[in-house]
Amino acid sequence: MKKIKIILTISLLTLLGACAQDDYSENVAQYLESNGTKEQYEYAYDELLKMLKTQYPKTEENKKGWDFLEENKEKSVSDMLTVLVPIYTSHFTKDEVKTMLNFYQSAAGKQLVLDRSKMTESQKSAFTTYNSTELGKKIAEKQGVLSTEISTASEGWSRDLYETAVSLLKQ
């Protein structure tokens, strides 16, 4: 009976840990959407397709490839964001990610992403306050290493996407 209780307790703790990790990862994913990262990858995907249309115009022979690429954008971008999640979880705590997410979901954060030049004085003040917090300072300090890790992941995504696209379109 005692063994069963121990096994049940361990199982429950493992399940709770997994749920907490999923919540943490979901917060990072929401952050990446709120801060404009998702939009940047969607733009990059669209630009790649524009470039490929000049090299590989849609024909009857490559129609399935074009259909796949046009339908696969959301999944491809989602996959890229999934690759970014561990980068952020390795540098920021769950509470820090929640704070970052809260800022980018605020009026100031939304305007910052939309058009920084149109921020009101109140929004600029909120942004300055956010940047002057311990978290804001930590983000600034980690900018270099984050940029390196994100660039590496992005280059891999771009390369794989390009190679896949060319293999689908080359006839």
Tens digits of residue pLDDT in 1-51:
544 443 333 433 343 343 345 899 999 999 999 999 999 999 999 999 999
Return the pLDDT at 103: 97
Tens digits of residue pLDDT in 63-121:
999 999 999 999 999 999 999 999 999 999 999 999 999 999 999 999 999 999 999 99
Return the pLDDT at 22: 84
Nearest to 158 by CA among 76, 50, 59, 75: 76
CB within 8 Å of 136: residues ≥ 6 apart: 130
Query: Global pTM?
Result: 0.83
